[in-house]
Amino acid sequence: MICTIYSHHLGLERIKEIFLSHVPKGSFSGDNEFLEFEIKGGILNPSKKLRISYRERAVPSYKIPETDDSELTTNLKGLYGFVNSLPTVNEKVKNLFLHKILTLNSEFSINQEKGEIKELKAIVEDIAKEFDAVLFLEPKTIISKSDSQHFLDKDLNLIIDADGNCEIDDLGVSINSVYFDNDQNELDEDQKLRKENSEKTLEKENIKINKHLPCIESENETTIRTPKEIAERVSVLAVTNLVAFNSISSEEAVDYLQNYKLWDVTTEGEKEFLADPTDDKKAYESWKCEGIWTLMWALNKVDNLDFPNEFCNLENINSDDYPVGKDKDPFDFINSIVSTRSKSEILDANDLYYRYNWACVDERINGRQMESINPGIVYERQYALNWLINYMDQDWDNVTCDT
């Protein structure tokens, strides 16, 4: 494969035109998904062929909707997760790239099947520039910039590779106003009101507002995790949290989770932590107390998600309402949970923390320290809230906190 090109814009016919402007003697065959581009040869000049695949989203937009399960959207969700997992030397560019992935509407792959077309690099350059594209490449192609898998911008400069290298300082994220305007016209009233109320809260708290930050999904588009699923998740988190704070050993935690039939709902990441709970991993895992607090709030065991400037204290939760403890069967807690807070309450919190997190990220990428709220607390609470609303169908280990 030469490369895969992603763009916010659509236009298979324009792509064909760019090919033919460089190679007038070439010809296309096939349908709108799988094309073959051929330059016929002669006795001493063999034919040359490229295989081209193209697909686009059924409903172009500037974001990935929760309800879209098409092949391209599924691939974009995977792409987002892959990029999000990469290290980086330029966090600002990585964050902009993640934003750009959410706006992508088309995918275009080029595979060389026979011979080499000398004009191909110029063709790719023109397509990339005209479509404001990002390109995914393997090493050792005609336009590669890294010895590992990597992404290039519209000018074929390195955005990020598997080692986190980057050679640009900025990345444009453009939105076709038609898609944005159409989406705004289709917004439900609860989305508009939720955004408006969150911005009023931020204004009152003197926290920077991004008016262009879109609405989160509507109540009609959202499915909250079931009470049992939330209760099981918070039970496992409560056990791993005890290990993080050195209250029990990892061996005791594993025995507890296995004896009480929670091992099957313990994630791979949590199992890896329990297999080797280093001090660094414990420090990281200890932040999940904010996730526990958020999930317990969703289960009505915590009254409020207080302003995120001070750490929660799990000891403030009544021990009778807490899922785990010495000789305590967590299923007494799990089976007692039959309801959660309303979808509206949970989405209100999710929208607010989405905007809190944008303000924190904005400060960080501009080299400033967020003073009024704690970015770590905000992140962990948004993480739990995104899991609660099934954001992008991500499981617990792979939740992303977009801004």
Model confidence pLDDT, tens digit, residues 106-152: 998 998 888 788 899 999 999 999 999 999 999 989 899 999 999 99
**What is the spatial distance between Cα 24 and Cα 119, in angstroms, rounded to a whole number?**
11
User: For 52-63, what is each residue's pLDDT tens digit?
Assistant: 899 888 777 767
Q: Where are the extended beta strands (E) located within 142-278?
A: 150-152, 158-161
User: Phi-psi region for residue 218, left (φ > 0), alpha (ψ -120 to 50) or beta?
Assistant: beta
**Domain segments of the chain: what residues?**
3-161, 181-402
Among residues of the chain, what percentage have pLDDT more than 90?
Answer: 60
Instruction: Report the share of the chain in percent with pLDDT over 70.
Output: 94
**Which pLDDT score, from 0 to 100, does residue 103 have?**
87
Tokens of 382: 């948004």
pLDDT tens digits, residue range 271-330?
A: 999 999 999 999 999 999 999 999 999 999 999 999 999 999 999 999 899 999 888 999
Whole-prediction pTM:
0.69
Determine the pLDDT at residue 339: 95
247-257: b (≥16 Cβ within 10 Å) or e: ebebeebbebb
The type of residue at 384 is A
Q: What is each CA distance from 314 to 71, 238, 396, in whole angstroms?
A: 42, 10, 20
Mean pLDDT value of segment 226-250? 96
pLDDT in tens, 342-356: 999 999 999 999 999
Residue 42 reports pLDDT greater than 70: no
- Per-residue confidence band for 394, with pLDDT thresholds at 50, 70 and 90: confident
> φ, ψ for residue 248 (rounded to 5)?
-140, 165
Residues near 110 by beta carbon (within 8 Å), at least 6 away in sequence? 1, 2, 3, 4, 5, 50, 51, 52, 120, 124
Q: What is the mean pLDDT of the chain?
A: 89
pLDDT tens string 163-193: 999 999 988 877 665 555 445 557 889 999 9
pLDDT at position 258 is 96
Q: By the 8 A CB rule, do 317 and 302 touch?
A: yes
Whether 80 contacts 98, CB under 8 Å? yes
Distance CA 139, CA 149 (A): 6
Three-state DSSP class for 268? helix
Cβ neighbors of 119 (< 8 A, separation 6 or more) are: 22, 23
Token pair for 147: 């010895």
Strand partners, 108: 5, 54
337: its two tokens: 């949970």
**pLDDT number for residue 179:** 58
221: amino acid identity, one letter = E
Asked if residue 237 has pLDDT above 70, the reply is: yes
- Only one residue has tokens 């990597």, namely 150
pLDDT of residue 196: 95
Assigned token pair, 390: 């099934």
pLDDT band at 365 (very low <50, low <70, confident <90, very high): confident
Is the pLDDT at 212 greater than 70? The verdict is: yes
pLDDT band at 242 (very low <50, low <70, confident <90, very high): very high
Q: What is the pLDDT of residue 181?
A: 45
Q: Between these two residues, 212 and 42, which has the higher pLDDT value?
A: 212
CATH classification of 3-161 is 3.30.310, yes or no?
yes
pLDDT at 377: 96
Instruction: Please give the structure tokens belonging to residue 322.
Output: 């807490």
